[in-house]
Structure formats: C-alpha cells, structure tokens
C-alpha cells in the first residue's frame, strides 16, 4: 500500500501535538486531493467554479466526514501506478479521522487560500493547476485550543469531468 507523506517543517512542538498536527495535515492534503464543484452554467467561469470547489473542500474537511471526503475524488485515483478505488479511499479517510478523534481533535477553522492569478486553466477548459496554495487551520486537541497555523500546500491538479471539477492528483507523493 502506498501512503502519502507530507513534510511540514519549522514546527517545534511536543511529539503528541506534532502527531495530531501531522494527522490534520495529512487529512487536509487528502481532502485537497478530493473535491468537485457543481457543474454550473456555461457562463460561470472556470475560476469561479474552482473557487466553489475549494470552499466545498473546506466544508468537507471541517465536517471530518469520510464519505463526503471520499465522494469528492476523481476515480480511479492513481498513486505511483497503483489504482485506488473510492471504497479504499473512504476506508483510509475513516482511519485517519478515527485517529484524529482519538486525540480529541476538533477543527474550528479551516481555509484554503489562493490568489486568482494562481488558478491556471488550460485552453480546453478541462484541466487546471492551482499554485501557491496555503492552508489555514485552527484546532483544539483534547480541549486545548491552539493558535491558527498557515502552511504552504502543494500545487493542486484538477480535471473537469461531466461539468464538475475533481482533484486529479497531488503533485507531492512519496512512497513509504
């Protein structure tokens, strides 16, 4: 099985808090790998549809609902040549969320921040890349609230299928 490992540097916290933050980061990036927008009408720009897609991902992550998160993916997801089904992704999200809840994680605030100039849609209107993504997260762990953190995210690669944007890949995979 392939696992996604994301390195987020600069945090000097105790191991338990760091573990929970890793869980949040992995869940966040997993959600970012997800997502879709409603098809919308032809007069709604792709950039606006992508912004709606990012808002839907924010809601899915805050809800910590594995079915919602898994339901946002473009399937089959291919990671390093291996196809991952919706059912497998949903099971993985259930495990990640269960572990986060075991630490008493509550996500109070989650935002995906990106400027309009960093949303690039190809000439076909069927593929896009979102660069310079930032995630803002404010959480509490076992009742102790932590100040909000902003971390850099990877570029997001999107595909439009059936009038809906879906995240097709995360450009930052490492096999463990």
pTM reported for the whole predicted model: 0.70
Residue 174: both structure tokens together = 């490492």
How far from 45 is each of 89, 95, 116, 120, CA to CA, in Å? 30, 36, 12, 12
Quickly state the pLDDT bin for 56 (edges 50, 70, 90).
Answer: very high
For residue 152, the tally of other CB atoms under 10 A from its CB is: 10
Q: How far apart are CA 90 and CA 118, in angstroms?
A: 30
pLDDT given at position 166: 86
pLDDT over threshold 90, residue 55: yes
> Is the model more confident about 32 or about 68?
68
Segment 114-134, tens digit of pLDDT: 998 999 999 999 999 999 999
Tokens of 66: 């594995």
| Close Cβ partners of 30 (under 8 Å, ≥ 6 residues apart) | 4, 69, 92, 93, 96
Examine the pLDDT at 168 and tell me if it is beyond 50. yes
Is 54 within 8 Å of 34 (Cβ atoms)? no
């Amino acid at each position: 099985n392939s696992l996604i490992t994301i390195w987020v540097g600069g945090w000097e916290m105790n191991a338990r808090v760091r573990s929970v933050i890793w869980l949040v980061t992995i869940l966040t990036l997993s959600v970012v790998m997800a997502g879709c927008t409603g098809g919308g009408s032809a007069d709604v720009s792709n950039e606006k549809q992508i912004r709606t897609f990012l808002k839907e991902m924010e809601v899915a992550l805050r809800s910590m609902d594995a079915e919602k998160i898994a339901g946002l993916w473009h399937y089959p997801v291919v990671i390093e040549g291996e196809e991952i089904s919706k059912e497998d992704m949903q099971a993985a999200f259930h495990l990640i969320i269960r572990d986060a809840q075991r630490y008493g994680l509550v996500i109070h605030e989650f935002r995906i921040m990106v400027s309009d100039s960093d949303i690039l849609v190809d000439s076909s209107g069927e593929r896009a890349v979102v660069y310079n993504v930032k995630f803002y997260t404010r959480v509490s762990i076992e009742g102790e609230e932590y100040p909000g953190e902003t971390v850099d995210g990877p570029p997001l690669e999107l595909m439009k299928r059936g009038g809906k944007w879906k995240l097709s890949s995360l450009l930052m995979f490492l096999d463990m």
